């Protein structure tokens, strides 16, 4: 199983390698010392993560080539915006859509107009436009990252989160460093994943030293793009983890509304979180961030500001989730958000950042177990995660209830994901930038 396709290095310009994929070239940052033109490599998140023997690469490319072009055709067909311009009474709506289609940036008023849409015909036009822009700028490649939730201990008390420390009903677990390394090794070297997210509650049993040891060992054993999601640590800790080989962080700011942030968090501060995100960016990390959709009292203005903040943080991967109320939290009786609200946020995000990787999060999949993934992918998203947490722990990582994929075997989940991607003409690859 392969979640990225090998490319051939055609040029080296300092630390930048130009890689060819079936006639299309992409740039990626090279961290190998003796890389040469002609070598075959895997790239993830704009970085070369693995070298591969040319014989093996050629045989993978041979089997994939026909499929690759077939998939591109299917995607082109699905994402075409055909037919005459719809007759719309709402001039402002259609003007915003037309601007987006021409690649022009939208004003805040236009963003709000789109976010306030409830009409089904307009929603359809918005989603189709976002999908067409995704296709125009990023073609049919779709990142499929693995995620391992290695501890559900957390020192925080976020009002929405099921693993908050005050939830005394939850059985807690933590995986040992060796267990995590073995699992990443299996995911990369046996299942073919090229990017892995390691996530936990804020659990300081994992000291900086332990995390560094783990990252170094993983990098020694696996050609992988490693993304950490371990919460608020010192900048020094993030600096050391980068040096050890971590290259991405998944760290949401949760909401751009400071007042709301203050109400939902007792232990965390908004300003600190944003400063940390900016510092992570300066250290060189690929930033994956985002927010929650459906928080009590959240308005369309808030959502617009959430989108703009994500963009201003230079997020390369956008990750926002619908709030799924957890019975053991202060937000237990919150109203479940409508899936169209989440898809609107997704589509408008794509209109605002045509090049970003936008995730279909597990929470969106949970909101609509049958169709959430597909709908997300057709509304501008181009990225997915597969949960690799061992079954015995997965249920205990209950940030929200009824998490999609909880009862599924990893292999079954991979199979279903690939089948869905193929049906939409998407290739499970990450071709860099």
Closer by beta carbon to ligand 5AD, 54 or else 332: 332
Please give the sequence-ordered ranges of beta strands (E in DSSP) within 155-232, or none if there are none.
195-200, 225-229
Q: Which of residues 393-432 bind ligand 5AD (CB under 6 A)?
A: 399-400
The C-alpha atoms of residue 189 and residue 224 are separated, in whole angstroms, by 9
Burial class (CB in 10 A: 0-12, 13-18, 19+), 314: middle
CB of 362 to ligand 5AD, least distance (A): 9
20 three-class SS: strand
Among 19, 133, 260, 321, interactor with ligand 5AD by CB under 6 A: 321
Query: Is residue 203 within 8 Å of 174, Cβ to Cβ?
Result: yes
Say which residues have a Cβ less than 8 Å from residue 106's Cβ, sequence separation at least 6: 96, 99, 100, 114, 351, 352
Q: Which two tokens stand for residue 135?
A: 């296709």
CB of 23 to ligand 5AD, least distance (A): 39
Closer by beta carbon to ligand 5AD, 117 or else 319: 319
Closer by beta carbon to ligand 5AD, 100 or else 324: 324
Residue 324 interacts with ligand 5AD (CB under 6 A): yes or no: yes
The C-alpha atoms of residue 378 and residue 375 are separated, in whole angstroms, by 5
Among 113, 128, 139, 326, interactor with ligand 5AD by CB under 6 A: 326
Query: Is residue 248 within 8 Å of 283, Cβ to Cβ?
Result: no
The C-alpha atoms of residue 267 and residue 251 are separated, in whole angstroms, by 16
Residue 292 interacts with ligand 5AD (CB under 6 A): yes or no: yes
Q: Which of residues 106-165 bind ligand 5AD (CB under 6 A)?
A: 160-161
Closer by beta carbon to ligand 5AD, 106 or else 323: 323
CB atoms within 10 A of CB 420: 15
How many residues form the binding site for ligand 5AD (CB under 6 A)? 12
Helix axes 108-115, 300-312, angle to 10 degrees: 130
Closer by beta carbon to ligand 5AD, 125 or else 211: 211
Closer by beta carbon to ligand 5AD, 135 or else 326: 326
DSSP string, 35-52: --TT-EEEEETTEEEEEE
CB of 55 to ligand 5AD, least distance (A): 42
Residue 26: in which H helix or E strand, if any?
strand 24-29
Q: Which of residues 363-382 bind ligand 5AD (CB under 6 A)?
A: 363
Residue 318 interacts with ligand 5AD (CB under 6 A): yes or no: no
Say which residues have a Cβ less than 8 Å from residue 287's Cβ, sequence separation at least 6: 248, 249, 251, 277, 280, 281, 313, 314, 315, 316, 317
Binding segment for ligand 5AD among 27-35, 75-83, 316-324, 425-433 (CB under 6 A)?
Answer: 316-324
Among 75, 202, 217, 254, interactor with ligand 5AD by CB under 6 A: 254
Binding segment for ligand 5AD among 7-15, 88-96, 319-327, 402-410 (CB under 6 A)?
Answer: 319-327
Residue 252 interacts with ligand 5AD (CB under 6 A): yes or no: yes
Among 126, 323, 348, 384, interactor with ligand 5AD by CB under 6 A: 323
Binding site for ligand 5AD (CB under 6 A): 160-161, 252, 254, 292, 321, 323-324, 326, 363, 399-400
């Amino acid at each position: 199983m392969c979640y990225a396709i090998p490319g051939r290095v055609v040029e080296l310009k300092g630390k930048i390698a130009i890689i060819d994929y079936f006639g299309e070239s992409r740039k990626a940052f090279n961290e190998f010392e003796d890389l040469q033109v002609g070598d075959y490599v895997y790239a993830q998140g704009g970085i070369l993560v693995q070298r591969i023997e040319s014989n093996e690469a050629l045989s993978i490319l041979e089997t994939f080539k026909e499929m690759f072009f077939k998939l591109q055709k299917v995607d082109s067909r699905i994402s075409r915006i055909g037919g005459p311009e719809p007759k719309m009474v709402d001039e402002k709506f259609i003007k915003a859509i037309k601007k987006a289609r021409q690649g022009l940036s939208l004003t805040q008023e236009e963003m709000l107009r789109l976010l306030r849409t409830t009409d089904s015909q307009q929603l359809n036009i918005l989603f189709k436009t976002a999908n067409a822009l995704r296709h125009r700028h990023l073609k049919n490649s779709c990142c499929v990252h693995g995620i391992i939730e290695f501890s559900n201990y957390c020192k925080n008390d976020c009002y929405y989160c099921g693993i908050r420390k005050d939830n005394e009903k939850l059985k807690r677990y933590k995986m040992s460093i060796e267990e995590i390394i073995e699992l990443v090794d299996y995911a990369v070297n046996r299942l073919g994943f090229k990017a892995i997210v390691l996530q936990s509650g804020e659990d300081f049993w994992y000291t900086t030293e332990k995390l560094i040891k783990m990252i170094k060992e993983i990098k020694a054993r696996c050609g992988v793009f490693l993304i950490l999601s371990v919460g608020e640590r010192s900048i020094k800790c993030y600096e050391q983890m980068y040096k050890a080989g971590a290259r991405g962080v998944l760290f949401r700011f949760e909401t751009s509304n400071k007042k709301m942030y203050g109400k939902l968090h007792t232990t965390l501060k908004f300003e600190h979180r944003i400063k940390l995100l900016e510092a992570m960016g300066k250290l060189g990390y690929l930033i994956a961030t985002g927010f929650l959709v459906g928080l009590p009292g959240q308005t369309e203005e808030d959502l617009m500001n959430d989108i703009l903040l994500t963009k201003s943080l230079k997020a390369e991967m956008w990750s926002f989730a619908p709030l799924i109320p957890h019975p053991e939290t202060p937000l237990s009786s919150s109203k479940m958000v409508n899936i169209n609200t989440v898809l609107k946020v997704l589509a408008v995000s794509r209109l605002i950042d045509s090049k970003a990787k936008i995730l279909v999060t597990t929470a969106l999949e949970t909101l609509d177990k049958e169709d959430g993934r597909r709908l997300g992918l057709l509304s501008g998203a181009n990225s997915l995660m597969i949960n690799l947490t061992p079954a015995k722990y997965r249920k205990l990582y209950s940030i929200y209830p009824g998490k999609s994929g909880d009862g599924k075997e990893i292999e079954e989940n991979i199979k279903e994901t690939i089948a869905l991607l193929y049906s939409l003409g998407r290739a499970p690859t990450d071709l860099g930038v």
